[in-house]
Structure 1
Amino acid sequence: MRSIAFKPVVTALALALGLSIYAAAQAGTVTVITSFPKEITDTYRKAFEAKNPTIKLEILNKSGTASIPYIRETAAGQRPDVFWSSDVVAFEVLARDKLLQKVPEAGNPLVPKKIGNYPVNDPEGFYFGQALSGYGIMTNKRYMQANKLPAPKEWADLTKGVYYGHVALSSPSRSGTTHLTVETILQGEGWEKGWTQLLQIGGNCAAVTDRSFGVPDGVNNGQFGIGLVIDFFGLAGRYSGFPVDFVYPSVTSVVPASIAMIAGGKNTAEASKFIAYSLSTEGQELLFDPKISRMPVLPYSVAGLKVPHDYPNIYDIARKSKVKFDSELSEARYALVTSLFDQTVTFRLKELQAATKAIHEAERKLAAKPNPRAAELLKQARSFAYTPLVDEKNVNDKQFLEIFRKNKKDVAVAKQLTGLEELWNSKAKANYARAEQLAGEASALLK
């Protein structure tokens, strides 16, 4: 009888012990949701765990745009602990939705308040700048030499016919860093001129990739000659030994890649330690690893910060930049910009490529043989191909922008948005076909 009575007691004790061990293991795990590649997350995970052997980092890789609904839809108490991303807008949205938690004790007082005129840390204290990023042009030197291509220095260079079929970028709806690149061009050049430039660059593209990683990988291996990328992709390729270069155009912006505590996470105390580590001098020096090649938020003058001798100084680049990035403007029109890009570039790339090829061919012939009628037809072709389908008046209309900020699960809202997107898509298709026709007529006059 004793053995029968003793067995459930032993089982209960074993179960209790197992649960306590599981709870302890969970208490020592920090889940980080991030868009960063393995080269960054593995480096930080190994260094942090070596310094904090009782804490484990669990990496959940999602883009900034995908992270927002994931965090939003996960119950409080079960959410990831830390959000770490270059997507400025994602932090704005999460803070607005009260999904971030202040952790002032994790900050580093040596970090400057601003980079240029842009706050490094959230003025409300919900997130910290952890690294600094600019946006620019990555090139494969061997590819450029083999194709006899001049090295582009400005975004406007990428609109030229010589670069047709040699450029790649990712979709801003799938990549937070590409969205920031697109916004940088729109804010630096203005809405109308910026979209004209983006459509011309899109027409010169060989591909629009699903993820931002696809562009630098393609430039590193010579699949593409030129890529529009965030700086650390280009610099990491260069410092890792690939035959690539990277330049910051004069129209660029420098903004922080940030880190924050998620409200409703599982392990706030351990998460605070990781955030603090990422901002410490040791954590900032990890950014100089050739596989990472990011810019620290700590200035190079901070005592003890070991800076490679040939490293760009992002604070100097920010001082020279022509763009004073407005994150509130970017956030307000985020859904409009990403949707408009997809409907007119991503989903209509073949038609845009065909129109652009025809325009470039007509331009070459016209340069050799001037013809007023052909010049007029070519002007009309460019207008059809490169005029944005949403004008600046609508962009400045708060009621129009509000359509894109509403809950897409609402049937009426979804129907309205679908109607607009279908209109843009069909209009873009018709415009590109007309542009190709007009450019072809211009070429026919120049035989």
Structure 2
Amino acid sequence: MEFTFKRALIVSLLSAAFANASAAPITIITSFPKEITDTYKKAFEQKYPDIKVEVLNKNTTASLAFIKEASAGQRADIFWASAPDAFEVLSREKLLSKAGDIKNSAAPEKIGNYPMNDPDGLYYGQALSGYGLMWNTRYLKANKLPAPAEWSDLTKGIYFGHVAVSAPSRSGTTHLTVETMLQGEGWDKGWMQLIEIAGNCKAITERSFGVPDGVNSGQFGIGMVIDFFGLAGKYSGFPVEFAYPTVTSVVPASIGLINGAKNPTDASKFMAFSLSNEGQALLLDPKISRMPIVSYDKLQGKVPAGYPNIFDVAKKSKVQFNSDLAQVRYHVVTSMFDQTITFRHKELQATTKAIHEAEQKLAAKPNPQAAELIKQARELAYSPVVDEALLKKPAFLDLFSKSVSKKGMGEFADKQLANLEDQWNSKAKANYAKALELAQQASAAIK
């Protein structure tokens, strides 16, 4: 009898151990930094010791490609990112599944006019995000620079060589920042402002992390960032500050269950944990510094002094973000930025420097001829290469849609797109060269 009991106990323990060892871990694909993912992984695994979490860190564009290319049953379980338009892409291509009733009832239905969760229940707002400016206080003091308050401040000559931004093709949060500016200012004015700011930039970084890391360390003076980058630096003890400009937007950073996931049951538990008040309190960790989807009084965590109230920011925001518009022109915007800014940054920098120098001379000694030359230089250098009217033409937008290849036109469309991008690149190069020449002529005319 005793032998039978011991044998049964051993079999039971071995079976449990085998079940735990063979259970598939949750795989999360995300663009978030390790400070966020490690904190949530540790807290979740403490709460559910039988469930393991694996994190694949990829930028938003690479994440979408990774999910699309994997076969059903072999995909990652969870997509977790700041870009609402990325979730729209996955939703449209039927790559998201409902995770069940896991919403936090304390969260509002909307942030401003923007829905907190997908109406069809395919993804959920897990944190809130705004976009703005972070700066290193010691750097600005050493260089005798005022703190910027608006995006337009960064176009001023005093900030030449002191700013940094990442490429939106490499960073979903930068794409949201760019889209916010375009939607807030309008296509033409927004692009002119973006190109001017880029001309003042010391660097266009490959990853979004490169901007806050550079500002925290004093490599850059000012960075264009999502709010949690600036706030995390500030509340982790770096000499940095962060501010929301009036042209900003507040949207949810979302979490969704991938259709064809390997472990949807446990993945839903992780999602529910991240949305719960317990999971929301983790956002207040200084090294994370994200905005929860519930009011601070619902959380047990201590709110740092001076921590923004994101719901107030949303009420004052001038931009009601349109994710449908952002999604439709996503690849147009990222490609335009790369072809005219990222890949031609040295030429743009040189032209911008020459324009600033000419304007400085003109301010000291007015000259009508020089003023006209500078005006022409600005128009050439900072006007967008794509007219807004083109965005209303389906054939133009189809060139940037990855679904074109499914129609049997992939190779032809790819060649058309490559030719178009080459034209943008060449036009930007020629415009910067001519604008540089005009700015130099303006300087020479002022004696």
What TM-score bracket applies, with the shorter chain setting the length?
Answer: over 0.9
Letter in 1 for 2:377: A
Give SS of 2:298's match. coil
In the alignment, is residue 364 of structure 1 matched against residue 360 of structure 2? yes
Q: Distance in 1 between matches of 2:213 and 2:290?
A: 17
> Equivalents in 2 of 1:78, 1:19: separation in Å?
25
Aligned position for 1:53 = 49
Cα offset, 1:391, TM superposition: 1.1
Partner residue in 2 for 1:443: 443
Where do 5+ consecutive residues of structure 1 fail to align? 1-16
Task: Give the partner amino acid of 1:398.
Answer: P
Query: Is residue 133 from structure 1 mapped to residue 129 from structure 2 by the alignment?
Result: yes
Contact 1:28–1:270 (CA under 8 A) maintained in structure 2: no
State the match for 1:108 in structure 2: 104
Partner of 2:260: 264
Structure 2 residues not aligned, in runs of 5+: 1-12
The structure 1 residue matched to 2:176, chosen from 180, 184, 209, is 180
Structure 2: distance between partners of 1:298 and 1:367 = 51
Once the two structures are TM-superposed, the CA of residue 310 in structure 1 deviates from its matched residue by 2.7
1:359-381 deviation digits (Å, cap 9, x = unpaired): 00000000011011100000000
CA distance, structure 1, for counterparts of residue 366 and residue 300 of structure 2: 63
CA drift at 1:24: 4.0
Q: Which amino acid aligns with 2:261?
A: G
SS of the residue 2:296 aligns to: coil
Match of 1:231 in 2: 227
**What does residue range 43-442 of structure 1 map to in structure 2 within 5 Å?**
43-302=39-298, 304=300, 306-407=302-403, 410-442=410-442
Report which stretch shifted further, 63-72 or 20-29: 20-29
Structure 1 216/111 Cα, relative in aligned 2: closer, same or farther at 3 Å?
Answer: same
For 1:408 and 1:354, how far apart are their aligned partners in 2?
Answer: 38
CA distance, structure 2, for counterparts of residue 249 and residue 223 of structure 1: 23
C-alpha RMSD of matched pairs (Å): 1.6
Secondary structure at the aligned position of 2:321 is classed as: coil
C-alpha spacing 1:419/1:26, structure 2 compared with 1 (3 Å): farther
Residue-by-residue CA offset, 1:93-112 (whole Å, 9 max, x unaligned): 11111111101322212211
Post-superposition shift, 1:329? Answer: 0.1
CA shift digits 1:3-46 (9 cap, x unpaired): xxxxxxxxxxxxxx999967643425111111111110111111
Distance 1:348 1:408 in 2: 28
CA distance in 2 between partners of 1:437 and 1:18 (Å): 78
SS of structure 2 residue aligned to 1:295? coil
3-state SS of paired residue (1:105): coil
Q: More displaced, 369-378 or 101-110?
A: 101-110
SS in 1 for 2:53: strand
* CA 1:33–1:374: 2 relative to 1, 3 Å: same
TM-score, normalised to structure 2, is: 0.94
Distance in 2, Cα, partners of 1:258 & 1:18: 39
Q: CA deviation at 1:403?
A: 1.8
Give the AA of the match of 2:350: A
Q: Determine what percentage of the aligned residue pairs are the same residue.
A: 66
Maintained 8 Å contact 2:85/2:327: yes
Is the 8 Å Cα contact of residues 133 and 224 (structure 2) preserved in structure 1? yes
Between stretches 393-402 and 383-392, larger displacement belongs to: 393-402
C-alpha distance in 2, partners of 1:279/1:80?
19
The normalised TM-score by structure 1 is 0.94
1:75 to partner: Cα distance: 1.2
Q: Which moved more, 1:22-31 or 1:249-258?
A: 22-31
Residue range with higher mean Cα deviation, 286-295 or 307-316: 307-316
* Preserved contact between residue 33 and residue 62 of structure 1 (Cα < 8 Å): yes
Deviation at residue 345 of structure 1 after TM alignment: 0.1
SS of the equivalent of 1:136 reads strand
SS of match in other structure, 2:303: coil
Per-residue CA distance 1:346-398 (angstroms, 9 max, x = gap):
00000000110000000000001101110000000000000000011112323
Q: Deviations over 1:400-431 (max 9, x none)?
A: 22221144751101100000000000000000
Q: Structure 2: how far apart are the matches of 1:271 and 1:347?
A: 40
SS at match of 2:73: coil
Checking the alignment, whether the CA contact within 8 Å between 1:408 and 1:414 is kept in structure 2 is: no
Would the aligned equivalents of 1:407 and 1:413 in 2 still touch at CA under 8 Å? Answer: no
Give, in angstroms, the shift of residue 299 of structure 1: 2.0
Q: Contact 2:284/2:301 (CA < 8 Å) preserved in 1?
A: no
**For structure 1, which segment, 19-28 or 423-432, has the greater mean C-alpha deviation from structure 2 after superposition?**
19-28
| C-alpha distance in structure 2 between counterparts of 1:294 and 1:171, whole Å | 22
Shift of 1:233: 0.3
Which secondary structure state, in structure 1, belongs to the residue aligned with residue 422 of structure 2? helix
Q: Residues of 1 paired with 2:315 and 2:122: CA distance?
A: 26
Deviates more, 1:386-395 or 1:402-411: 402-411
Distance 1:443 1:305 in 2: 58
